[in-house]
Structures are given as structure tokens and as C-alpha cells.
Amino acid sequence: ADILVLHGPNLNMLGVREPGIYGSKSLEDINSGLEQEADSFGITLDTFQSNTEGELVTRIQQAYKENVKFIIINPAAYTHTSVAMRDALLSVKIPFIEVHLSNVHQRETFRHHSYFSDKAVAVICGLGADGYSYALDAAYKRISQAK
Ligand code: DQA
């Protein structure tokens, strides 16, 4: 696919999980909205969620073989812990936008540091599910300029 959207741990629980923080949309709702948006742009989009760090690393490596042009990633709790996922993104050299539903900077101090932000094209946080759609819009602009 042109674009890969990666979702980290517990994001499969969206809609049920702390809706006051993360909103009422399910992950399926978010993914189907993004697929529709990609269709309207005439590009292809894959989505993948895992609760396991190694599976996310392997999916990033696979993206390299699939010639994915842009990654949109919400690493969820791995944002604050995962050197392995950071290294995977740097290995494949695929540009990425980091998305968080909540404004992590308004929350606990352990959520203020990200292992991804200094390498991301951009970071979107605090805009809920809309953040993914804005990221897709930006990714589409970038890949169509690159053609
Ligand atoms: C999150 C923020 C993280 O701190 C948290 O661990 C998540 C979700 C967000 O989208 O706001 O699981 O990435």
C-alpha cells in the first residue's frame, strides 16, 4: 500500500477505553474513515494494530519490502518506551507522522517524552480521531509531490 497506519497497544479498545480521554469512536470506525479518505485521494492504505512490540517492529520492516511511502503511527504506550520501534522506523527510512488522540502534554509527565517525535515529519496530538485524518491529508500531499 502507499500508506500504512499503525496502532499500538490498547487502541483495539477504543470506544470502550476511557472515552473521556480517547473518545467514543472504535478503531474500526477510525480505520474505515481513513480507508474512505484514501479511496477519495486515489491511493491505497493498510491498517495494522498490535498489542505486541515485536509485531509492530516486524510490520514496520515489512513496510519496507512493500514499498510503503508514508507511515502514520500512534505508538500508544510504546511512545514512551520503545527504542526498538524507533530503530525500526529509522531502519526503513519511511517518513512518518506521529498521532495521539489525547494531548499527551496535558497529562502525566511520563507521557511528555516520546521516542519518536524528534524523527517524525510532524506530531499531531489532542485532536482526537480527527488527528489521523489530518495526518492522512498531509501524507497524501507529501507523496503526491514526490511523484
Ligand atoms: C496515546 C497516548 C499514550 O500516552 C497512551 O499510552 C495511549 C494512547 C493517545 O493516542 O493519546 O495508549 O498514544
Q: Residue ranges per domain, the chain?
A: 3-146
102 is in an annotated binding site: yes
Q: pTM score > 0.95 for this model?
A: yes
The pLDDT assigned to 131 comes to 98
E strand or H helix at 74: strand 70-74
Q: ipTM exceeding 0.95?
A: yes
What is the model's pLDDT at position 146? 76
Instruction: Give the nearest ligand 1 atom to 100 CA.
Output: 10
CATH code, residues 3-146: 3.40.50.9100
Res 95: pLDDT: 98
* Bridge partner list, 36: none
What is the CA(76)–ligand 1 centre distance, in A?
Answer: 4
Cell numbers for 24? 467514543
